[in-house]
Protein backbone atom coordinates (compact mmCIF):
# COMPACT_ATOMS: atom_id res chain seq x y z
CA UNK A 1 0.00 0.00 0.00
CA UNK A 2 1.30 3.47 -0.85
CA UNK A 3 0.76 6.04 1.87
CA UNK A 4 -0.64 9.44 0.98
CA UNK A 5 -0.35 12.52 3.19
CA UNK A 6 -2.57 15.56 3.67
CA UNK A 7 -1.28 19.14 3.79
CA UNK A 8 -0.46 18.78 7.50
CA UNK A 9 1.59 15.62 6.97
CA UNK A 10 -1.02 13.19 8.34
CA UNK A 11 -1.48 9.81 6.69
CA UNK A 12 -4.59 9.55 4.53
CA UNK A 13 -6.09 6.07 4.49
CA UNK A 14 -9.64 6.39 3.16
CA UNK A 15 -10.45 2.70 3.31
CA UNK A 16 -8.97 -0.68 4.00
CA UNK A 17 -10.30 -3.85 2.36
CA UNK A 18 -10.82 -6.25 5.22
CA UNK A 19 -12.13 -9.26 3.33
CA UNK A 20 -11.02 -9.16 -0.29
CA UNK A 21 -13.22 -12.02 -1.52
CA UNK A 22 -16.42 -10.17 -0.59
CA UNK A 23 -14.87 -6.72 -1.16
CA UNK A 24 -15.98 -5.66 2.32
CA UNK A 25 -14.60 -2.23 3.07
CA UNK A 26 -14.03 -0.67 6.47
CA UNK A 27 -13.12 2.98 6.90
CA UNK A 28 -10.38 3.60 9.44
CA UNK A 29 -9.21 6.66 11.31
CA UNK A 30 -5.57 7.64 11.52
CA UNK A 31 -3.87 10.46 13.39
CA UNK A 32 -0.28 11.68 13.68
CA UNK A 33 0.56 8.68 15.86
CA UNK A 34 -1.00 6.21 13.41
CA UNK A 35 -3.96 3.90 14.00
CA UNK A 36 -6.72 5.43 16.12
CA UNK A 37 -9.89 3.42 16.62
CA UNK A 38 -12.32 2.79 19.46
CA UNK A 39 -14.21 -0.47 19.95
CA UNK A 40 -17.93 -0.10 19.25
CA UNK A 41 -18.72 -2.59 22.02
CA UNK A 42 -16.56 -1.45 24.96
CA UNK A 43 -15.51 2.11 24.00
CA UNK A 44 -11.79 1.36 24.51
CA UNK A 45 -8.84 1.81 22.15
CA UNK A 46 -8.22 -1.06 19.73
CA UNK A 47 -4.66 -1.91 18.78
CA UNK A 48 -4.28 -2.87 15.13
CA UNK A 49 -3.29 -6.45 16.07
CA UNK A 50 -6.55 -6.86 18.04
CA UNK A 51 -8.81 -5.31 15.38
CA UNK A 52 -11.79 -6.99 13.79
CA UNK A 53 -14.46 -5.39 11.65
CA UNK A 54 -17.94 -6.18 12.93
CA UNK A 55 -21.38 -5.72 11.40
CA UNK A 56 -23.27 -3.38 13.73
CA UNK A 57 -25.82 -2.42 14.63
CA UNK A 58 -27.19 -5.20 12.40
CA UNK A 59 -25.28 -8.53 12.47
CA UNK A 60 -24.53 -10.00 9.03
CA UNK A 61 -25.96 -13.37 10.08
CA UNK A 62 -29.27 -11.65 10.84
CA UNK A 63 -29.47 -9.87 7.49
CA UNK A 64 -27.17 -6.91 8.19
CA UNK A 65 -25.51 -5.40 5.14
CA UNK A 66 -21.80 -5.63 4.38
CA UNK A 67 -21.52 -1.88 4.02
CA UNK A 68 -19.40 0.84 5.58
CA UNK A 69 -22.53 2.17 7.31
CA UNK A 70 -23.01 -1.16 9.08
CA UNK A 71 -19.31 -1.73 9.77
CA UNK A 72 -17.66 -0.92 13.08
CA UNK A 73 -14.30 -1.38 14.75
CA UNK A 74 -14.17 -4.06 17.45
CA UNK A 75 -11.75 -5.96 19.64
CA UNK A 76 -11.56 -9.63 18.67
CA UNK A 77 -12.77 -10.61 22.17
CA UNK A 78 -15.68 -8.12 22.14
CA UNK A 79 -16.73 -9.26 18.68
CA UNK A 80 -16.71 -12.88 19.85
CA UNK A 81 -18.73 -11.98 22.96
CA UNK A 82 -21.29 -10.09 20.87
CA UNK A 83 -21.60 -13.02 18.47
CA UNK A 84 -24.78 -12.52 16.46
CA UNK A 85 -26.81 -10.94 19.27
CA UNK A 86 -29.32 -8.39 18.05
CA UNK A 87 -30.43 -5.09 19.61
CA UNK A 88 -27.03 -4.33 21.13
CA UNK A 89 -26.32 -0.64 21.63
CA UNK A 90 -22.99 1.11 21.17
CA UNK A 91 -20.73 0.76 24.23
CA UNK A 92 -22.88 -2.02 25.74
CA UNK A 93 -19.75 -3.57 27.31
CA UNK A 94 -18.43 -0.36 28.88
DSSP 57-72: SS-GGGT---SGGGEE
pTM above 0.85, yes or no: no
Mean pLDDT by 10 residues, the chain (94 residues): 63 52 53 68 87 87 82 90 91 91
In sequence order, the 6+-apart residues with CB closer than 8 A to the CB of 82 are 41, 54, 56, 59, 74, 88
Give the right CATH number for 4-82 from 1.10.357, 2.60.40, 1.10.3470, 1.10.30: 1.10.30
Amino acid sequence: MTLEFDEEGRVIVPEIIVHEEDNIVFKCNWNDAGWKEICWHCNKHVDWVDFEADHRPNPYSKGGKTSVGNGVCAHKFCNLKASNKENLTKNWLS
